[in-house]
Amino acid sequence: MMVFGPVPSRRLGRSLGINNIPAKHCSYSCIYCQLGTTNKTYIKRKSFYSPEDIFADVQEIIKKSRKKGINIDFITFVPSGEPTFDINLGKSIDLLKLLGYKIAIISNSSLIWIDDVRNDIKKADWVSLKIDTVDEKIWRKINQPNKMLRFSSIISGLNNYSKNRNFVTESMIVNKVNSNENHIHELAEFIAKLNPETAYISIPVRPPANENAKKPDEKTILKIFEIFSEYVPKVELLINFEDDNFIPINDIENEILKITSVHPLKEEHLESFLEKGNTDWKIVERMIKSKILKAITYEGNNYYLRSLNSLK
Ligand code: SF4
Average of per-residue pLDDT across 100-104:
97
Give the Å distance between the CA of 183 and the centre of ligand 1. Answer: 21
Average of per-residue pLDDT across 71-95:
95
Confidence category of residue 233, pLDDT binned at 50, 70, 90: very high
User: Of 223, 238, 253, which residue sits at a domain end?
Assistant: 238
Strand order in the sheet with 235-238: 2-9, 13-19, 74-77, 102-107, 126-130, 168-172, 199-202, 235-238
- Residue 244 resides in a domain: no
Residues 198 and 268 in one domain: no
Give the residue from 45, 43, 28 showing the smallest Cα distance to 86.
45
Give the residue from 112, 138, 146 showing the smallest Cα distance to 29.
146
Residues 267 and 169 in one domain: no
Helices (H) and strands (E) in the chain, counts: 10, 11
Atom of ligand 1 nearest to the CA of 143: 6
Confidence category of residue 293, pLDDT binned at 50, 70, 90: very high
Residues 215 and 82 in one domain: yes
> How far is residue 293's CA from residue 305's CA, in Å, rounded to a whole number?
6
When divided into structural domains, the chain yields a total of 2
What is the model's pLDDT at position 4? 86
Distance of CA 25 to CAs 33, 117, 257, Å?
13, 16, 35
Residues 205 and 306 in one domain: no
> Does ligand 1 lie within 6 Å of residue 108's CB atom?
yes
- Residue 270 resides in a domain: yes
DSSP state, residue 41: B
Confidence category of residue 172, pLDDT binned at 50, 70, 90: very high
Residues 164 and 281 in one domain: no
Residues 277 and 205 in one domain: no
Statement: residue 288 has pLDDT above 70: yes
Tens digit of pLDDT for each residue in 194-217? Answer: 999 999 999 998 789 999 999 999
Atom of ligand 1 nearest to the CA of 130: 1
Residues 193 and 284 in one domain: no
> How far is residue 41's CA from residue 96's CA, in Å, rounded to a whole number?
28
Confidence category of residue 1, pLDDT binned at 50, 70, 90: low
> How far is residue 238's CA from residue 220's CA, in Å, rounded to a whole number?
14
What is the model's pLDDT at position 273? 87
User: Of 205, 238, 271, which residue sits at a domain end?
Assistant: 238
Q: Which CATH number is 226's domain given? A: 3.20.20.70
Residues 63 and 126 in one domain: yes
Between 91 and 294, residue with greater pLDDT: 91
Confidence category of residue 310, pLDDT binned at 50, 70, 90: low
- Residue 268 resides in a domain: yes
Residues 145 and 12 in one domain: yes
Q: Mutate which of 27, 28, 139, 178 to test ligand 1's pocket (most atoms within 8 Å of Cβ)?
A: 28
> Does ligand 1 lie within 6 Å of residue 201's CB atom?
no
Between 174 and 259, residue with greater pLDDT: 174
Classify 69 in phi/psi space as left (phi over 0), alpha (psi -120 to 50) or beta: left
- Residue 222 resides in a domain: yes
> Does ligand 1 lie within 6 Å of residue 70's CB atom?
no
Residues 229 and 284 in one domain: no
- Residue 248 resides in a domain: no
> Does ligand 1 lie within 6 Å of residue 26's CB atom?
yes
Q: Quote the Cα angle for 254-255-261, to 5°.
A: 90
> Does ligand 1 lie within 6 Å of residue 202's CB atom?
no
- Residue 249 resides in a domain: no
Residues 138 and 283 in one domain: no
Q: Mutate which of 21, 26, 171, 178 to test ligand 1's pocket (most atoms within 8 Å of Cβ)?
A: 26
What is the model's pLDDT at position 249? 45
Give the Å distance between the CA of 29 and the centre of ligand 1. Answer: 6
As beta bridge partners, residue 129 has 107, 169
Residues 30 and 113 in one domain: yes
> Does ligand 1 lie within 6 Å of residue 172's CB atom?
no
> Does ligand 1 lie within 6 Å of residue 33's CB atom?
yes
Give the Å distance between the CA of 24 and the centre of ligand 1. Answer: 8
Domain limits for position 272: 263-311
- Residue 234 resides in a domain: yes
- Residue 281 resides in a domain: yes
What is the model's pLDDT at position 23? 85
User: Of 177, 205, 238, which residue sits at a domain end?
Assistant: 238
> How far is residue 279's CA from residue 252's CA, in Å, rounded to a whole number?
9
Confidence category of residue 234, pLDDT binned at 50, 70, 90: very high
Confidence category of residue 301, pLDDT binned at 50, 70, 90: confident
Atom of ligand 1 nearest to the CA of 38: 5
Q: Mutate which of 20, 32, 33, 139 to test ligand 1's pocket (most atoms within 8 Å of Cβ)?
A: 33
